[in-house]
Chain A
Amino acid sequence: MSTTITHPPTDILVLGSGASGAAVAWRLSNRGFNIVCLEQGRWIKPEEYPNEHADWEIQARTNWAFDPNVRGLDEDYPINVDESPIDPLMFNAVGGSTIHWTAHTPRFHPSDFRVKTLDGVADDWPLTYDELEPFYDTYDELMGCSGINGDPANPPRKERPMPPLPIGPDGERIAKAFDRLGWHWWPSDSYVNSVPYKGRKACNNCGNTGLGCSLGAKGQTDVAIWPEAIKNGVELRTNSRVFRVDTDENGRATGASYYDAEGNENFQPAKAVVLAMNGIGTPRIMLNSASEVYPDGLCNSSGLLGKNLMFHTYAMVSGLFQDDLKTYKGALANMILCQEFYETDQSKAFVRGYTYQVARSSGPISTACGHMFGRVPWGAEHHAQFARRFSDVTVVGVIGEDLPEEHNRVELDPDLTDSNGIPAPKVYYELSTNSRKQLDDAIENAEKVLHEAGAAQILATPFLKVAGWHLMGTARMGDDPKASVVDRWGQAHDADNVFIVDGSVFVTCAAVNPTPTIGALALRTADYIDRERSDLKS
């Protein structure tokens, strides 16, 4: 008979140590709260990162794959994707998916918070860009943002802490093509150090930002936030896999139950629980926390928990050039972006828009097996085709704004479990007609710019399957408890001591990478807790 290990109570229990969990823990520990954070993964040492090993490209396709179903590590959980054309991607370790991300960090536009008002689709957010702006600034400083002011496609903002990363000769080539077409472009904002920053080194352009940075040059929360949070007194408990948020007879959270590395059941009591496990992990555990009070899952009186899942829809258009620019040099996806087609254009057959995120090529195995486009053919044509694709390729990646739809959702799989027997999530997703039209338009315009830049050949991948980097919308925020899971502060409508701070709370997803917005929202929630909830502090 197993015995539950019960720990001393804490003020705030944070579930997940990634982009948002780290931010909340840091902010609230600065304000005197006692914090415990539970992370199902472990600390990863810099020397473990693939970029420190000659077989880095093999690791990128196996034990370091973006896809947890491919990686299959003990700390991962499987995801049933039988009903989804997009594979969700994530990483489980101290730092969460910031270990694995490419750290491309544009902000939402002011209009992104008002899509119902402006374009008559989806819903408005219950907050504005202006309200979020100071938190964006703080998160930029925490993680370390490289970039430059003056972008005509975005509002003026505080100076970034660092100048832009090098855009390289390949970046200049495509930037000039955008100029000739009269289209917008701007150096990407990136949480990658262009110069030494807060004791962390500058990026040395090794290329594969998506594999964890052993230099510490990338904004991963394990190096950018956790050291200070731990110094503040936060207890970060690793190899701790939460399976349930526990509640009392009134529906208020009492803490969370989890398995430790030995498989023992533990209970961590807390005055409040903050969920920060990403747009799939958070609804998974909330659905698994059903109780008498919450028969359909924790804080799910709206019935919307797990619904409205948004990915960004991706297409890739690659230009093969013949200038031998060695385009594998430089941070993979942190060159420039274009937001010429960001907003709704009434002349087009779709609403909302897309961003182009321009990316580089990669190493020889990635090239041969298919990096951003298909595999190089085998046989007589192999070497000629490989040579064309290897060292001078610029990829115009399309990030389309995916609109929320209730049928796109996360549920618990009735059969599949992780290694502790916790039900795995099953994802249901259909690409909308609007998204397909967006992508088609984006491909056509991407081909124009690559042609203008002098590409000898252009290859389009019309829809990218391994593209579920951004997991959003499954516990949306709003003022109406019937139409949202959390309020404007990330506090559950159904329980005043349950907070959600990851991408689950997104109302819409804009057409940009979400992490700065996730981080800013998390800091804003933390400030709310500090300001309004002194009852949660010992």
Chain B
Amino acid sequence: MPDTECKISDADRLVLSAVMDLIVPPVDDLPGAGEMGLAGNAEELAGRIADYGEALHRVLEALSLDPSARAEGGFVALEEDQRIAALTALESSMPKYFDKFVDLIYIVYYSDERVHRHIGWRSGPLQPLGWELPPFDPSILETVSRREPFWRKA
């Protein structure tokens, strides 16, 4: 699948958002990944990177074909336990695409600054700030240094 071609329909976008809420559900004051409005971010990343695009399309297509989702209202109208069952079935039947799809959801979720605040992670690039650590203290070597050399002579 060529990059930049990952358009999904409005209906699929609703399904994607509902699925994202199940993959990463609400926690404390944060809503689920779908309700946070991250479906568009997933779509955008899937459009940039072919593997994610293919996984997204395969999962949405499979969900649309799931017998339980053919009922009126489709996947979004199912009860939560039915939705989870549908996803669990996909995880078993198409693990390669499902795994990549879950990675996609995790990537957009854990790229979000609201999530970073919640987990205590500093957003932004690692440089130039880096992290502070105390310098090496040789006193930690006291025990191991007492050991006689044991490297094998050859």
**Chain A residues in contact with chain B, CB under 8 A?**
49, 51-58, 61-62, 109-111, 113-114, 117-118, 128-129, 148, 150, 152-155, 163-168, 172, 175-176, 178-179, 184-187, 194, 203-208, 214-215, 326, 328-330, 343, 363-365, 367-369, 375-376, 378-380, 382-383, 386-387, 390-391
Contacts and interface: CB of A to CB of B under 8 A. Distances in A.
B60 interface: no
B95 to A, nearest CB: 12
A113 B154 CA distance: 8
A54 B154 contact: no
B92 interface: no
Contact of B126 (A51, A62, A152, A379): A51
Chain A binding surface, main DSSP class: loop
A61 B107 contact: yes
**Would you list the 4 A-B pairs with minimal beta carbon distance, nearest first?**
A204-B130, A329-B131, A206-B126, A166-B133
Contacts of A57: 107, 110-111
A333 to B, nearest CB: 15
Interface in B132-154: 132-136, 138, 140-141, 143-145, 147-154
Contact of A153 (B106, B109, B151): B151
B119 A382 contact: no
Contacts of A203: 130
Contacts of A113: 154
Contacts of B102: 375, 378
B151 A58 contact: no
B141 A150 contact: yes
B73 interface: no
A369 B131 contact: no
B107 A207 contact: no
B152 A380 contact: no
Contacts of A53: 125
Nearest to A331: B133
Given A164-B136, A379-B22, A152 B123 contact: no
Interface centre among B124, B141, B144 (most CB of A within 10 A): B144
B116 interface: yes
26 contacts: A51-B125, A52-B127, A62-B49, A150-B141, A152-B151, A153-B150, A153-B151, A163-B136, A175-B144, A186-B141, A194-B136, A204-B127, A329-B132, A330-B131, A363-B121, A364-B119, A364-B121, A365-B111, A368-B110, A369-B107, A376-B106, A380-B25, A382-B24, A382-B25, A383-B24, A383-B27
Nearest to A166: B133
B61 interface: no
Contacts, number: 162
Contact of A58 (B45, B124, B130, B134): B45
Nearest to A178: B144
A250 to B, nearest CB: 39
Chain B binding surface, main DSSP class: loop
A53 B128 CA distance: 10
Interface of B: 22-25, 27, 45, 49, 84, 87, 99, 102-103, 105-107, 109-111, 115-116, 119-121, 123-136, 138, 140-141, 143-145, 147-154
A165 B136 contact: yes
B110 A365 contact: yes
A379 B144 CA distance: 45
B152 A343 contact: yes
A364 B126 contact: no
Given A150-B145, A184-B147, A186-B141, 7 more contacts: A51-B125, A111-B152, A118-B152, A382-B25, A383-B25, A387-B119, A391-B119
B1 to A, nearest CB: 14
A376 to B, nearest CB: 8
Contacts of B136: 148, 163-167, 187, 194
Contacts of B116: 364
A148 B148 contact: no
A111 B22 CA distance: 55
Contact of B125 (A56, A62, A148): A56
B126 A207 contact: yes
Nearest to B141: A150
Contacts of A52: 125, 127
Interface centre among A49, A155, A203, A378 (most CB of B within 10 A): A378
Contacts of B140: 167, 172, 175-176
B133 A184 contact: no
B144 A365 contact: no
A365 B106 contact: yes
Contact of A206 (B119, B120, B130, B148): B130
Contacts of A185: 144
B150 A375 contact: no
Nearest to A187: B136
Nearest to A72: B50
